[in-house]
C-alpha cells in the first residue's frame, strides 16, 4: 500500500521515498524444522529486490534488514533453553542476544534521504553469527536432532543453524 501511495505521489511531481522491510538471517541459511519461516523471509528479500528495480524510476528505494537472533516473543522459549543459549547464542561473536535497538539505527538510515541511492540491498545485523554459518550436509542429522529435542521439550518449532570454522570444526 505504501508503494502505491509513493508512486501516485511521484506521478504528481513529488518523487522519492524509502521502503524498509524486516526479513531474517534465515533467508540466507535456512531454518531447520521451521522451513516455512525461512521461506517467507527469503521471499521478503526477493520482493525487496524486485521492488527496488520496479520503483527506482520513481526515486523510491527499497531495502531489507536481516536481523539475527533477536529477543522477542517469537524467541522467548529459546531464550530460556540453556542448551540453545550455550550452543548457539554462545557462538555469536559479539556475544548474546540482540534487541530491536541493535538494528533500529540502520532502519533510520535506510528510511532517510542519506540513503537515496541505496536500494535493493539486504543488510545483515547479527553480531557476526552469519559469518560463521556454513551448511555442512554431513552434519545435518545432528542439527535435526537438536531441533527435534527442542520441539519435543517445548512443543515449538526451532530455527537452528549449523556452521563450520575455517579449521574444519563444526557446531550449531
d(CA 166, CA 134): 10
Active site residues: 37
d(CA 99, CA 127): 11
How big is the chain, counted in residues? Answer: 172
Between helices 35-55 and 2-11, what is the axis angle to 10°?
A: 0
Q: Torsions phi, psi of 164, nearest 5?
A: -130, 140
d(CA 101, CA 145): 33
Task: Return the bridge partners of 67, or none.
Answer: 125
Angle in degrees, CA 171, 70, 117, rounded to 5: 105
d(CA 99, CA 41): 18
Amino acid at each position: 500500500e505504501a508503494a502505491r501511495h509513493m508512486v501516485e505521489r511521484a506521478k504528481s511531481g513529488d518523487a522519492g521515498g524509502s521502503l524498509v522491510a524486516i526479513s531474517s538471517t534465515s533467508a540466507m541459511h535456512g531454518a531447520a524444522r521451521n522451513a516455512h519461516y525461512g521461506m517467507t523471509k527469503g521471499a521478503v528479500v526477493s520482493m525487496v529486490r524486485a521492488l527496488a528495480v520496479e520503483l527506482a524510476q520513481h526515486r523510491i528505494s527499497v531495502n531489507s534488514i536481516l536481523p539475527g537472533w533477536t529477543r522477542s516473543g517469537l524467541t522467548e522459549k529459546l531464550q530460556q533453553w540453556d542448551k540453545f543459549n550455550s550452543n548457539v547464542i554462545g557462538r555469536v561473536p559479539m556475544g548474546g542476544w540482540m534487541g530491536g535497538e541493535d538494528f533500529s539505527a540502520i532502519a533510520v538510515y535506510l528510511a532517510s534521504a542519506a540513503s537515496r541511492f541505496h536500494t535493493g540491498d539486504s543488510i545483515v545485523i547479527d553480531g557476526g553469527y552469519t559469518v560463521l554459518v556454513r551448511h555442512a550436509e554431513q552434519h545435518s542429522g545432528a542439527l535435526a536432532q537438536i531441533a527435534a529435542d527442542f520441539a519435543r521439550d517445548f512443543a515449538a518449532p526451532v530455527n537452528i543453524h549449523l556452521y563450520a570454522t575455517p579449521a574444519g570444526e563444526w557446531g550449531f
